Amino acid sequence: MTGGSSGIGLEAARQLVAAGYDVVLTARREPELRLAAESIGARAVAGDCTDATSFAAVVEASGSVDLVVHAAGVMAGTFVRKERLADFEAVVRTNLTSAFVVASASLPAMGPGGRFVFVSSSSSHAPQPGLSAYSASKAGLNAFAGAFAKEVERDGIAVHVITTGPVETPMLDDVRFPMRTLSVGDVAAAVCWLDTLPANVVLGEIEVSSVESGPFAPELFVPSAARALGRTERQH
Catalytic residues: 134
d(CA 235, CA 85): 33
Distance between CA 71 and CA 5 in Å, rounded? 10
| Residue 20 per-residue DSSP state | T
> Using DSSP, how many helices (H) and how many strands (E) does the chain show?
8, 6
Helical axes 30-40 vs 7-18, angle rounded to 10°: 30
> In angstroms, how far is CA 125 from the centroid of its own chain?
16
Exposed / middle / buried, residue 39 (Cβ in 10 Å: 0-12, 13-18, 19+): exposed
- Long-range CB pairs of 15-24 (<8 Å, 24+ gap) are 15/185, 15/188, 15/189, 15/191, 15/192, 16/67, 16/191, 16/192, 16/195, 17/41, 17/42, 19/192, 21/67, 24/58, 24/61, 24/62
Phi-psi region of 203 (alpha: psi -120 to 50; beta: other; left: phi over 0): beta
Which residue type occupies 76?
A
